[in-house]
């Protein structure tokens, strides 16, 4: 790829609009999540409710998994994503009006959390499948990395902004969130994207399961998606960060905040690097190596008793995870026919969500059984074992040279 390629991406107006829409919608969600958590805890004072609201948001991803991909492939993805962003804006508006009138209840928050999760379940595959329609194939790996940088930047900055605004009242968070989603909606609708629609018709079991069958028929795609599922499931230690911050690293809330943001910082820096210098050769080996580094970083974090070393290790962990994510996301989309991308993205999204949610549960259970440090170390070792096994099970993925073999 020529040296002018990054410049082409930066000046590719449809991608710039797509990237800005990602920034606004990701920032809106992060601010909304912070506000909902604080608001709910102020109402009930029950820690369990904070866990339940996350479960409620995740449930639609399981319930509607097959339908979300079907919708993304059968209808204009721009309109699907814009409609979902509009629904999220209306949710924020309902919370803003409820806060002004004092009518926000625990039950209302759970209902709106379910609607929020539903909107995001349909938005995610539509947005992921839309990106290949926005940029040419030659720029796609860079576009994936640059798109990821939008989400990571929002993850770092938006929660802090949301927390600051909440100090003035919940309406100060919900109001700007409505505007963020509104701008994202307009940007999404402005995109010039050509999409090859799948054959129209009512959803049936055959069409709904087509994405799963396609993934199973492509060993490289199946291997990459399942690798991410099991590696994050075993290696995820974020649920135990409060324990490490308080009991092992002997720091306070400020330290916990830095620990939580460190992986996102590493991921953001790496995404910016990959947008400028994309991985173009030996993509399979590099992906497996990055997952291995993720496992080693997990072990190092579990054994560390130094706050600053732990912080540095988490930055490395986030950077390694980003390499794997960008490579997987790029070649899975490039190897998938356009009329199938929505359904494949929906299955991939369920795997990612399940690995994160179940990973937190797995970390809690193993910490209860074996202790906090052994749980994290065993998780990192498990990630290394999975990496080695997957390299043997999927040799074509291990020796894959380029993103797209076509």
DSSP characters for 165-193?
A: HHTT-THHHHHHHHHHHHHHHHHHHT---
pLDDT surpasses 80 at 235? no
How does pLDDT run across 153-206, given as a tens digit for each residue? 887 788 778 877 887 888 898 999 999 999 999 999 988 766 555 555 555 566
Residue predicted with more confidence, 171 or 335: 171
- Tokens representing 240 are 């135990």
Residue 282, by phi and psi: left (phi above 0), alpha (psi -120 to 50) or beta? left
- Say which range, 86-100, 111-125, 343-357, has the weakest mean pLDDT: 343-357
Q: Using CA atoms, how far apart are residues 65 and 61, in angstroms rounded to an integer?
A: 5
- Tokens representing 403 are 């993103």
What is the overall mean pLDDT for the chain?
81
Q: Using CA atoms, how far apart are residues 150 and 146, in angstroms rounded to an integer?
A: 7
Element (H, E) at 205: helix 205-208
pLDDT surpasses 80 at 222? yes
What pLDDT is attached to residue 385? 92
Mean of the pLDDT values across residues 245-270?
Answer: 80
What SS3 class is residue 160?
A: helix
pLDDT surpasses 50 at 1? no
pTM metric for this prediction: 0.72
Query: What secondary structure letter does DSSP report for 200?
Result: P
How does pLDDT run across 286-305, given as a tens digit for each residue? 999 999 999 999 999 999 99
- Tokens representing 194 are 């050509």
């Amino acid at each position: 790829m020529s040296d002018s390629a990054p410049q082409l991406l930066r000046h590719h107006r449809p991608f710039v609009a797509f990237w800005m829409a990602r920034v606004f919608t990701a920032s809106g969600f992060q601010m909304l999540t912070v506000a909902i958590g604080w608001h709910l805890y102020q109402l009930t004072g029950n820690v369990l409710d904070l866990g339940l609201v996350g479960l409620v948001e995740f449930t639609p991803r399981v319930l509607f998994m097959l339908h979300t991909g079907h919708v993304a492939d059968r209808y204009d993805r721009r309109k699907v994503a814009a409609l979902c962003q509009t629904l999220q804006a209306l949710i924020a508006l309902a919370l803003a009006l409820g806060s002004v009138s004092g009518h926000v209840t625990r039950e209302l928050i759970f209902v709106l959390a379910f609607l929020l999760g539903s909107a995001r379940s349909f938005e995610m595959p539509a947005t992921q499948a839309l990106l290949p329609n926005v940029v040419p194939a030659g720029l796609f790996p860079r576009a994936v990395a640059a798109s990821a940088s939008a989400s990571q930047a929002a993850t770092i900055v938006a929660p802090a902004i949301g927390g600051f605004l909440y100090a003035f009242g919940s309406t100060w968070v919900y109001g700007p969130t409505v505007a963020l989603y509104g701008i994202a909606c307009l940007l999404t609708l402005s995109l010039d994207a050509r999409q090859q629609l799948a054959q129209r018709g009512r959803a049936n079991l055959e069409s709904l399961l087509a994405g799963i069958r396609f993934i199973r028929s492509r060993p490289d795609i199946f291997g990459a998606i399942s690798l991410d599922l099991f590696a994050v499931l075993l290696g995820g230690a974020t649920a135990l960060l409060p324990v490490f911050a308080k009991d092992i690293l002997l720091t306070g809330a400020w330290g916990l905040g830095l620990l939580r943001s460190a992986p996102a910082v590493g991921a953001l820096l790496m995404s910016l690097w990959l947008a400028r210098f994309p991985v173009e050769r030996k993509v399979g080996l590099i992906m497996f190596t990055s997952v291995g580094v993720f496992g080693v970083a997990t072990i190092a974090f579990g054994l560390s008793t130094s706050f600053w070393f732990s912080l540095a290790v988490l930055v490395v962990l986030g950077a390694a995870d980003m390499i794997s994510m960008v490579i997987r996301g790029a070649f899975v989309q490039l190897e998938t026919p356009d009329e199938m991308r929505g359904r494949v993205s929906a299955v991939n999204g369920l795997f990612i969500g399940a690995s994160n949610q179940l990973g937190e549960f797995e970390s809690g259970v193993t910490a209860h059984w074996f202790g906090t440090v052994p749980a994290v170390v065993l998780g990192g070792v498990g990630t290394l074992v999975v990496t080695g096994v997957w390299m043997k099970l999927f040799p074509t993925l291990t020796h894959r040279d380029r993103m797209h073999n076509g």
